[in-house]
Structures are given as structure tokens and as C-alpha cells.
Chain A
Amino acid sequence: MAEEKKIFKVTIDNITIEVEPGTTILQAARRIGGDVVPPAMCYYSKLKGSGGKCRTCLVRVAAGSTADPRPMPKLVASCRTNVMDGMVVESMTNNTVLEARKAVVEFLLINHPLDCPVCDQAGECDLQDLSYDHGRESTRYEFERRTFERHDLGPYIQLHMTRCILCFRCVFAADQLTNKRAHGILDRGDHSEIATYIEKSLDNDFIGNVIDVCPVGALTDRTFRFKNRVWFAKPVEADRSCTKCSGKVRLWMRSDR
């Protein structure tokens, strides 16, 4: 039997796009781009297995497929739901989805401290952007928040567990980039926290990537702590024709001129 390449037609917010089978709704929406794209916190396209934790990317599936056009009973996480042929998805056009997103942001911010003026991530923080775009103006939470002491994971990384939203991205990054993961999420539910179990330091050569992957200011660079603010840094093209890394390099650095 001749292998015919299947193409699925999916409609997101009245925009139809053709994608390969196995694409998730989120990826299809990103293909379209613009306002249609659901926000995502825990999903990181380059990390295998990421997604499905934070529920920010909720969308409504108005019709499952051409074969079975019934709508899905609940909102689904678009980063974990694959498209079907003839699927109709509502993202920005559905009020329930927008309300749900607001609620998810409120949940994410329950334990997150409002220390953006102090936090080094401010300005490149996904949660900050998310709450600006989709959040409520104020919180309704009135109980004591979960707080932790600041923690140094080795000489380069600082863990500020209070800010963590448990997206698991750093865990996936350490799993997929280093040969032995030294940190992970301990405990369950409300008690879960990022830790190295018994005060180990993260010293793999590639472990610095967890700082970059962290969507909030939970993992920050110790060597760069309080040195700069994101919006003071300006891009400097630093491309080098080096045989080892030969790539486009853009340095973001602070300069007064």
C-alpha cells in the first residue's frame, strides 16, 4: 500500500491551517501566530515531554474531528492534545477559555511573591508577561503564602523556591542535556519543591541552561545577581567564524553609550 502523507485540516479561531498528524493544537496555533496562540508556561518546544503541568494553554475544542464532530466536554491543554482532521478549536474567541486562563494565572500567582522590583528575571519573566496579558488586577488569596529560604545550588545557580511555579522545565532540561540529573522535584502536591535532596551542587558544564529554561526567577545566575536589569542591556552582534561554535552570537550587555 502506497504511503500517502496525511494532512490534517484544523481550524483555530476561524483560521484554517494544514498540519501533519501528531502536531499538537499549541504547535498548530503557533504556526498561525498572532493572538490565536494560547499562552504557555511549562511547555518548551525544545524539551521532550514538557507541557501539561500549568494549564495556561487551555483551549476549547468545539468539534473533535470530521469523523466525530462532538465537542470535547472540558477545556483541554493545547500543548498535550494532538490535532485531528477537521478539528475546530476556540482560543481567543471563547469567553470560557479567557475566564479559565484568568483563573489559572490567579492560581499560579497564589504562592508567587510580588518581588519583581528585586527579582533578576523581571523584564524577561514569562509569568510577568502572562499576568499582564491574561491575569486579574489583584489576587483574592488571603492566606499565608508558601515561603522558602534562598538556596545556593553550587557556585553558579541560586534557587529561590518561593518563586517557583513547578513547571518541571529545569528537570527536563537537566535530563536531556546532562548525563546525570542532580536535582528534581521532591514531595507531592502542595509540598512539592525543587531540591537536590541532600545539599548537592549542580556543577555539570551544561547545567546553566536550567537558568535560561526557568520561566520565572526561581533559578537565577549567582554570578550575575543584582548586576543588571534586563531593560538596560542592549544587543551587540558578536558573530565569530569560530570552528567550534560557529553560530550567530548576540551579546546582551549594559553599556552607557
Chain B
Amino acid sequence: MNAWEKLYLPAVLKGMFITLSHLFKKKATIQYPEQKRSFPKVFRGLQVLNRDEEGRERCTACGLCAVACPAEAITMEAAERQPGEEHLYREEKYAAKYEINMLRCIFCGFCEEACPKDAIYLSETVTPANYSRAGFIYKKEDLLIPDPTKDPEGYQKALGHRAKKINN
């Protein structure tokens, strides 16, 4: 080292210049819960069970999503629609029980692709935290989209742009 380098000060200043210059650069981070990044179009989040425009459940419990699921996260049980329940279920058969184990799910989107009724799609919601493992087994009530006739705002919010692409 020569005398100029032994002084250290120029090196310190050079380093500080790099550090301080970052103050004026665009921030790489965002303030997460308040701000959110927009997802790419192909983003696959939590599953949602869709309804039709009259608010009837589209799912007929055909089991194609469960058989397509590589992680075997989906289980279901079917039931027959009784007379007088036509406003609740679109077809004569519906899912009485529908569960997705979100810990098993790998969000591959095969269930969405397999569904012949456009009943399931992957939304833009990311899996929220939970205290227990049992809390990650989503029941039908957790998965169903809000009724568009009763809660149109919540329905639109839950739809996101992925489902709109399917519907139109």
C-alpha cells in the first residue's frame, strides 16, 4: 500500500458515495400489507368454488379435480339435489362435502383445467397463515365464492381477473 491508500479516507468516501446514492434510487421493496404488487396473469393462488350468475353452485362433484390432483389434496362427497333446492345448485348433483388440504396443494392448477363446469379456479389470494394444521383443510364454506345476488361486491372481488377470463 502506498501513502495515499494508507490514508483510507478516499476509499471510505467512495464507499459512502455508493451507499448514499442508493437513497435517491427507486425502492426495491414495497410496504406490503398496505401496498400490494400486481400479480402476473398466470398467477395461481387459493382455490375458489365458483357460482353462476344466479348464485347457484356450479360444482357437481364429478371428481375430475380430485383425480387430476397430483398431490391428492382434494376430497369430496356428492349428494342429490332435492326438489326445491334448484336455486342453490345448478345441476341435479352437488358437492355435499368438498375439502382441499392447502398444505398438500401445490397450486399447479390442474383442478382448474380438469373442471368441466368452470366450478373451480385459482384466485389471486395467497394462502394466509394459520395456527393449526387443521385450519389449512379448507371446507366448502371457506372455498365458496360470495353469492353474486346477495353480495355482488364481494363476488367481484373474489372473482379477480382469472375467472373473468374464463367466464367471457
Contacts and interface: CB of A to CB of B under 8 A. Distances in A.
Interface of A: 115-118, 122, 225-227, 229, 231-232, 256
Contacts of B78: 226-227, 229
A117 B75 contact: no
B167 to A, nearest CB: 18
A229 B65 CA distance: 12
B106 interface: no
Contacts of B61: 226
27 contacts: A115-B91, A116-B62, A116-B116, A117-B60, A117-B62, A117-B64, A117-B116, A117-B117, A118-B60, A118-B62, A118-B91, A118-B92, A118-B93, A122-B62, A225-B80, A226-B61, A226-B78, A226-B79, A226-B80, A226-B93, A229-B63, A229-B67, A229-B78, A231-B63, A231-B67, A232-B66, A256-B75
A253 B33 CA distance: 48
A256 B74 CA distance: 11
Interface of B: 60-64, 66-67, 75, 78-80, 91-93, 116-117
Contacts of A117: 60, 62, 64, 91, 93, 116-117
Given A226-B78, A227-B78, 10 more contacts: A116-B116, A117-B60, A117-B62, A226-B61, A226-B93, A229-B62, A229-B63, A229-B67, A231-B63, A232-B67
B137 to A, nearest CB: 13
Nearest to B72: A256
B4 to A, nearest CB: 76
Nearest to A229: B63
Contacts of B116: 116-117
B113 to A, nearest CB: 15
A226 B75 CA distance: 14
A227 to B, nearest CB: 7
Residue in A118, A225, A229 whose Cβ sees the most chain B Cβ within 10 Å: A118
Contacts of B93: 117-118, 226
A31 to B, nearest CB: 34
A232 B72 CA distance: 11
A172 B85 CA distance: 39
Contacts of A229: 62-63, 67, 78
A146 to B, nearest CB: 18
A45 B116 CA distance: 34
B33 to A, nearest CB: 38
B110 to A, nearest CB: 14
A122 B78 CA distance: 14
B86 to A, nearest CB: 14
A186 B107 CA distance: 52
A105 B54 CA distance: 35
Nearest to B64: A117
A228 to B, nearest CB: 8
A231 B62 CA distance: 10
A225 B77 CA distance: 12
B53 to A, nearest CB: 19
A180 to B, nearest CB: 32
A232 B61 CA distance: 12
Contacts of A118: 60, 62, 91-93
A27 to B, nearest CB: 34
